[in-house]
Amino acid sequence: QVQPVESGGGSVQAGGSLKLSCVASGFIYSYCMGWFRQAPGKEREGVASIAGDGSTTYVESVKGRFTISKDKNTLYLQMSSLKPEDTAMYYCALDPPGGLPGNVCYKLSYLIEFGVWGQGTQVTVSS
């Protein structure tokens, strides 16, 4: 019932910044939302999540560089100090109807497995 739409991807030089956005119908009804990414030939990797109480979780590799935030309409991922290893398709994910198992948001894998995804936005970081 909720279809996220991502935007903001692009090609940047290493060390640069990008800010991704995600909007969706019914966005305000989601408790947990976040971002994951997938590079060609690799497994999907949870990047960050934010819960309704504002608590956030990040995968270790992006801590200190990425910031997840939201307002009433939009989910964001501010990415700075980008590295070539960050190159991937980035997806927004919202918790499904009925919520995530245990209604937890800190387990990024839950959003990958159970969340409602968007079409993704490509992020390419060159050396």
pLDDT surpasses 90 at 9:
yes
Give 120 or 102, the one with higher predicted confidence: 120
Q: What is the separation, in whole angstroms, between the first and last Cα of the chain?
A: 40
Give 119 or 100, the one with higher predicted confidence: 119
- Please write the tens of the pLDDT for every residue from 47-87: 999 998 899 999 999 999 999 999 888 999 999 999 999 99
Structure tokens at 82: 């980008």
- Please write the tens of the pLDDT for every residue from 114-127: 899 999 999 999 99
- Please write the tens of the pLDDT for every residue from 23-48: 987 677 788 999 999 999 999 999 99
What is residue 57's predicted lDDT score, i.e. its pLDDT?
97
What is residue 1's predicted lDDT score, i.e. its pLDDT?
53
Long-range contacts of 48-53 (CB under 8 A, 24+ apart): 48/77, 48/108, 49/105, 49/106, 49/108, 49/111, 50/75, 50/105, 51/105, 51/106, 52/105
What is residue 32's predicted lDDT score, i.e. its pLDDT?
92
